[in-house]
Structure 1
């Protein structure tokens, strides 16, 4: 497997053998067996490194005989503590956690998780499905109603609360009965175990739906939380995507935060016109192994390179 870069950055969200209602309609996630298979494959071909080593090798531009992998997880789901960290500790693998402070300690359910939970309740309960058909602008077509719910965006997220209230889906009760996100105590324990805790924005917005001022505010608020809690404030991973984020954002956020080393998107194997913004490879693609995903990413990068399309150019 010939790589275009010396190092790769992979991103997961959660690993579970359970039916996770607040996630299952958003993206596929790995089973424990599938995740361990990924790690076993990666261990044969790559060297897992920690954040400190990653920074050192990036800034000093060192090379190794064996390519490296930085493992990252987004959104701060509780499964990292209960399921993932025991596997990683057993295998001696480091990982970064990019979290949204607003949701830590189960204070609130992130808007996309609300959408998945609502859809789960609708599709599993005929009486709720029938009630939804009478909601304004909805009809008897379950598929179109589900699609409409999942399309509700960050700016209109209050519609999800209205739908949940109408359908008598108690989100507060769900949070009390289900630990969706990591707790402050768990974050400290993970930090003490050597795992990285860093910023993923305050409340997981689509950055291309925010103006520059709100982009900066959302980011800074999350970086301040990291500093206040002695977590990592030298990194930031965009929630969803960094698509259409301009150079002005990067210039400002790096100037405001001298400790900030790198930011991260999730566009796969690509270069970026901003050298401090690095792209990660999403690994949660249904029915694809890590090996298949990496081979596809490499092939796609090589194709883009032929047409000079392998670099994200920012305005």
Structure 2
């Protein structure tokens, strides 16, 4: 458990007893960027073991709270630093899940709120299931099927303890992602069949419609790698391939959001990717309220943290930032 997670667990029972106005004056920036993944009232097998997603009711409650205290802006207004009477807020989503088209965009259009969806081009049109989604789906299927529970113990490298086996599956990393295919084959689980009956990602047609409706479509890496497990050359290639897709399809090629985290990314990477892409304005991490020594890399606030509401998360982020500032650790320093 990270220090930040421990801090939130201790702080939240205290901060939830005070109104947001008590914290608002300590907000360190007048521009905030939030990041969600999906919203659903359903049991989403390919996501449920990865992060806690919002229900429709919870999402609308978040938006109503945020609208009271912030002014939602679109990408152009964010770039131009539009003057607003309240702090500006840019809403973003990651991974290009189909729920953005079916559930989220109708809500945002009704409320007049813009958002950018950072997508992985490799998975658009449901050509393949992303490796982390494969892990979650495998765990869901094993938990729901006694035959799978018994059979998985015979897979090479796993044992008789179901909880340990599930943990091992969820820990499989990008480099070893083919192990997920091997486990699926061993259990006779077909990821392609799942995609045919459960469209996980947005389609090209939906992306075009979302663009016409005013939403932004931008890059999240080609196939959702963990960047600090890649070589510098691999980092650049994965990023460039996804930015080229944006250019070829006339989506946004002036922004990029790192999948997972930008932890341990060096100045050399940023220098190279900005040099190669003259239209690129900003890249985005997801470390919460923090400064970054590389000025063009901006940190977003993850909202799907345990079951905290947007209000609770922002209160805790504000307090956490002030603590880090006192310790001189409120800035991510790149080597």
Gaps (5+ residues) in structure 2? 1-23
Please give the secondary structure, in 2, of the residue aligned with 1:43.
Answer: helix
User: Which of the residues 282, 287, 300 maps onto 1:267?
Assistant: 287
1:147-226 matched pairs, under 5 angstroms: 147-226=167-246
Q: What is aligned with 2:28?
A: 4
Distance in structure 1 (CA, Å) of the matches to 2:42 and 2:327: 43
Distance in structure 1 (CA, Å) of the matches to 2:307 and 2:123: 30
Q: What is aligned with 1:109?
A: 129
Q: What is aligned with 1:80?
A: 100
Q: What is aligned with 1:296?
A: 316
Distance in structure 2 (CA, Å) of the matches to 1:235 and 1:63: 21
Q: TM-score, normalized by length of structure 2?
A: 0.92
Distance in structure 1 (CA, Å) of the matches to 2:178 and 2:306: 30
Gaps (5+ residues) in structure 1? none
Distance in structure 2 (CA, Å) of the matches to 1:56 and 1:64: 12
Q: What is aligned with 1:20?
A: 44
Please give the secondary structure, in 1, of the residue aligned with 2:175.
Answer: helix
Please give the secondary structure, in 2, of the residue aligned with 1:197.
Answer: strand
- 1:51 paired with 2:75, answer yes
More displaced 10-residue stretch of structure 1: 41-50 or 282-291 = 282-291
Does the Cα contact within 8 Å between 2:91 and 2:114 map onto a contact in 1?
yes
Distance in structure 2 (CA, Å) of the matches to 1:287 and 1:120: 20
- 1:228 paired with 2:244, answer no
Please give the secondary structure, in 1, of the residue aligned with 2:189.
Answer: coil
After TM superposition, give the deviation of residue 63 of structure 1 in Å.
5.0
Q: Deviations over 1:139-167 (max 9, x none)?
A: 22111000000000000000000000001
Distance in structure 1 (CA, Å) of the matches to 2:71 and 2:88: 5
After TM superposition, give the deviation of residue 64 of structure 1 in Å.
3.5
Q: Deviations over 1:120-149 (max 9, x none)?
A: 000000111100011112122111000000
Q: What is aligned with 1:139?
A: 159
Does the Cα contact within 8 Å between 2:52 and 2:307 map onto a contact in 1?
no
Distance in structure 1 (CA, Å) of the matches to 2:315 and 2:149: 42
Distance in structure 1 (CA, Å) of the matches to 2:287 and 2:245: 26
Does the Cα contact within 8 Å between 1:6 and 1:63 map onto a contact in 2?
no
After TM superposition, give the deviation of residue 287 of structure 1 in Å.
2.1
Please give the secondary structure, in 1, of the residue aligned with 2:103.
Answer: helix
Q: How many residue pairs align between the two structures?
A: 311
Distance in structure 1 (CA, Å) of the matches to 2:151 and 2:44: 23
Does the Cα contact within 8 Å between 1:95 and 1:196 map onto a contact in 2?
yes
Please give the secondary structure, in 1, of the residue aligned with 2:154.
Answer: coil
Distance in structure 1 (CA, Å) of the matches to 2:85 and 2:256: 28
Does the Cα contact within 8 Å between 1:242 and 1:265 map onto a contact in 2?
yes
Q: Deviations over 1:85-144 (max 9, x none)?
A: 000000000000000000000000000000000000000001111000111121221110
Does the Cα contact within 8 Å between 1:12 and 1:74 map onto a contact in 2?
yes
After TM superposition, give the deviation of residue 31 of structure 1 in Å.
0.2
Q: What is aligned with 2:56?
A: 32
Distance in structure 1 (CA, Å) of the matches to 2:84 and 2:328: 27
Q: What is aligned with 2:21?
A: none
Q: What is aligned with 1:118?
A: 138
Distance in structure 2 (CA, Å) of the matches to 1:170 and 1:81: 25
Does the Cα contact within 8 Å between 1:98 and 1:197 map onto a contact in 2?
yes
